[in-house]
Amino acid sequence: MVEETIPAAGQPAGRKKALAKLLASLMLLGSMVVTLVYNQTISNRAKIGNKLPEWKEVTTLEGKPVKLADFLGKPFVLNLTTTWCISCKRETPVLQAFHERYGDRMSMLAIDIREPVDTVRAYLTDFGITYPLFLDRKSNIPLPYNVRGYPETWFADAGGIARKFWQGPIEFEQMQQFYQETTGRPIDPDGVGPVPPGGHAHAVALTPENGGVLLVGTHTGLFRGTPAGEGRYEWEPVGQAAKLSGEEVTAVEIPAGAQGTVFVATRNLGVLRSRDAGRTWEPANNGLPPRPVNALAASLPGSRLYAWVAEAGLFRSRDGGDTWEPIRGNAPAYLQVTSLALNPRDENHLLLTVGAAVLVSSDGGNLWREVRLKEENFMPQWPGRIDLEPVPFDAAFDPSNPDIVYYATSDGIWKSGDGGLTAKWLRESHMRRMSSITASRGADGKTRLAAIAPNGDTYASADGGKSWQLVVR
């Protein structure tokens, strides 16, 4: 009998099972490798509290390789941008202003993603950029920096550790605050001029004397600044006997042609008047309610005055502040007014800044109409439309030509050529918030300007705004 040889039961199935286990093990191993690589990639990506990733194949416009490590040792701002990004156009002047003001304590860096050199070079020229702008021609930056859109901005300490991140256009005041959150100290640790760290400057006025003497109203009083050479000012408090020290001064007016006369508006003392350039003061509140005075405007000889009293509205004086009368116009008393300006050649032409608007009156404050400042299609030679719409905080008529009005706004200094109805940003001024602006006529007949930022930074122009110099810093 021949016995048939039969393969052991389950042998083919066993081989299949072993092969399946091997494949499963390989898949698991592959998954672990992918996970490990992914986790390693994630750990190397930009993240608050981590060191920012080193750059790969980033160059200068001339093609020279640059590394992030080249800029360690000093806190820095890293802006990721493109020329086709609409919001980038909006923030570029802000970055330039920050670089000019604070480049000595925080480096301003930018990287353009995947654009031709000639395009980036033209953008740099058109916007007047002086901070370093580098190129990432192969788009190596977006992945390790988790780029979701442009612009994006990182703030890092001197060791390159990311401390703050911002997506979208950034404002100057945000950058000041982010510096403190990055470094642990205020960006102006000693204050600016008479304004202490964290303080606020409300108003600035130029005295008639040559030499750029300033009067500055702050949340802690009125101060006189006298140039002391080499860009320094010597500051002294004004009006101690009148209890101005420690008092919030909201407006300062020096009428041209009224020798030694100065008016100030305050939060608690109403309107004060000095006839001897600030040595002595007297109250000028007859007819004013006992409320904060938010704004003040004076005619050239100082005989006619206008004041805005919180929750009481507009008041007028026809006798240099001796007496006041209310004006029952169509501007509601509850408006949060920040300034008044009076045409030097027309005592009935007034400008009033409130919120995002300017109110204009041609009849002494009885009837007002609202206008909005806007520059349409800012920098139209670059893709995408963006309209600048600043918030005005103060206004000043040009003493030589009242058709010209200067505005201190959330976006620098703006200039109007039609009596304040429309205006455009002065490219020579800095794209940052300005609290107050003043205009006077110099001995040479040219219009002298001074504008002050909330922190006390004061910019001056001796040529009607064509050029500006930071005189108090």
**CATH code where residue 120 lies:** 3.40.30.10
Residue 296 CA to residue 417 CA, distance in Å, equals: 23
48 within domain boundaries: no
470: pLDDT strictly greater than 50: yes
**Average pLDDT of every residue of the chain:** 91
26: pLDDT strictly greater than 80: no
Collapse the DSSP code of 400 into the 3-class scheme (helix H, G, I; strand E, B; otherwise coil) and give the result. coil
Question: Any idea what the CATH number is for the domain that residue 405 is in?
Answer: 2.130.10.10
Nearest to 112 by CA among 104, 120, 121: 120
Whether residue 206 sits in one domain with residue 178: no
350: pLDDT strictly greater than 60: yes
**71 near 79, Cβ under 8 Å?**
no
**309 near 276, Cβ under 8 Å?**
no
Whether residue 456 sits in one domain with residue 357: yes
Q: Stretch 172-197: mean pLDDT, rounded?
A: 97
Q: Stretch 308-330: mean pLDDT, rounded?
A: 97
380: pLDDT strictly greater than 50: yes
286 within domain boundaries: yes
Single out the residue in 133, 155, 183 at which a domain terminates: 183
Q: What percent of the chain has pLDDT over 90?
A: 83
37: pLDDT strictly greater than 50: no
The verdict on pTM exceeding 0.85 is yes
User: Interior CA angle at 341 toward 339 and 347, to 5°?
Assistant: 145
387 within domain boundaries: yes
Single out the residue in 151, 183, 215 at which a domain terminates: 183
35 within domain boundaries: no
Residues in CB range of 463: below 8 A, 6 or more apart: 446, 447
Whether residue 206 sits in one domain with residue 301: yes
Whether residue 208 sits in one domain with residue 117: no
- Rounded to 5 degrees, φ, ψ at 144 are -65, -20
Whether residue 314 sits in one domain with residue 288: yes
Weakest mean pLDDT among 249-258, 280-289, 323-332 = 249-258
Number of domains in the chain: 2
Quickly count: other Cβ atoms within 10 Å of residue 216's Cβ. 29
1 within domain boundaries: no
Domain that holds residue 121: 58-183
Single out the residue in 183, 211, 235 at which a domain terminates: 183
Residues in CB range of 197: below 8 A, 6 or more apart: 186, 188, 189, 190, 191
Place 85 in a pLDDT band, splitting at 50, 70 and 90: very high
Whether residue 213 sits in one domain with residue 177: no
pLDDT in tens, 408-455: 999 999 999 999 999 999 999 999 999 999 999 887 888 999 999 999
More confident residue, 165 or 463: 165
Place 292 in a pLDDT band, splitting at 50, 70 and 90: very high
260 within domain boundaries: yes
388 within domain boundaries: yes
Q: What percent of the chain has pLDDT over 70?
A: 90
Quickly count: other Cβ atoms within 10 Å of residue 57's Cβ. 13
pLDDT in tens, 11-20: 566 676 766 6
Residue 428 CA to residue 301 CA, distance in Å, equals: 32
Whether residue 213 sits in one domain with residue 176: no
Whether residue 430 sits in one domain with residue 348: yes
39: pLDDT strictly greater than 80: no
Whether residue 177 sits in one domain with residue 213: no
Whether residue 381 sits in one domain with residue 235: yes
The pLDDT value recorded for residue 261 is 94
Residue 60 CA to residue 465 CA, distance in Å, equals: 34
222: pLDDT strictly greater than 90: yes
User: Interior CA angle at 402 toward 400 and 403, to 5°?
Assistant: 120
Whether residue 322 sits in one domain with residue 454: yes
25: pLDDT strictly greater than 90: no
50 within domain boundaries: no
The pLDDT value recorded for residue 9 is 46
Whether residue 396 sits in one domain with residue 306: yes
Measured CA to CA in angstroms, residue 67 lies from 157, 200, 205, 250 at distances of: 16, 39, 47, 48
Place 22 in a pLDDT band, splitting at 50, 70 and 90: low
Quickly count: other Cβ atoms within 10 Å of residue 137's Cβ. 16
